Amino acid sequence: MADEPVDPSDIGGTDAPPIEEKPYKIIFEANKCIGAGKCAEVSGNWELDLTTGIAKPKAYFIEESDLDENVRAAEVCPAKKDKGVIHVVDRETGEEIAPDPNGDGTLSVDW
């Protein structure tokens, strides 16, 4: 149904590469980005667009070798009252790896 809320873990599901190749995905709440650029300071996957003042990832689906830097980007994001707007999700389990402010692996997206 069109009136039901979007499940953030479903985002990008149809265009995704195989889980075996890219087992993690980024869910980014761009509408809540405050343009601090902390993500771009710690991760080569993130860039801050100086024209718009909004950050964005170069890739939304990442492999194991890119996990640590994207987790770090999620952890240093000061937006949304320091809970962050960058979410790193394990595609196989659907659990939020970072920032995981609730400590239970549930997605902390606030749409």
* Tens digits of residue pLDDT in 28-76: 999 999 999 999 999 999 999 989 989 999 999 999 999 999 999 999 9
Q: How many domains does the chain have?
A: 1
Domain assignment present for 58: yes
Domain assignment present for 26: yes
Domain assignment present for 11: no
Confidence band for 102, pLDDT divided at 50, 70 and 90: confident
State residue 111's pLDDT score: 74
pLDDT at 1 > cutoff 60: no
Count CB atoms within 10 A of the CB of residue 1: 3
Domain that holds residue 43: 18-98
Confidence band for 10, pLDDT divided at 50, 70 and 90: low
Domain assignment present for 106: no
Domain assignment present for 62: yes
Domain assignment present for 6: no
Domain assignment present for 7: no
Confirm if 62 and 24 have CB atoms less than 8 A apart.
yes
Tell me the residue type at 61. F
Domain assignment present for 28: yes
Q: What CATH number is associated with residue 34? A: 3.30.70.20
Write the CA distances from 2 to 5, 17, 51, 71, 89, integer angstroms.
Answer: 8, 26, 34, 32, 24
Backbone angles phi, psi at 34, to 5 degrees: -105, 5
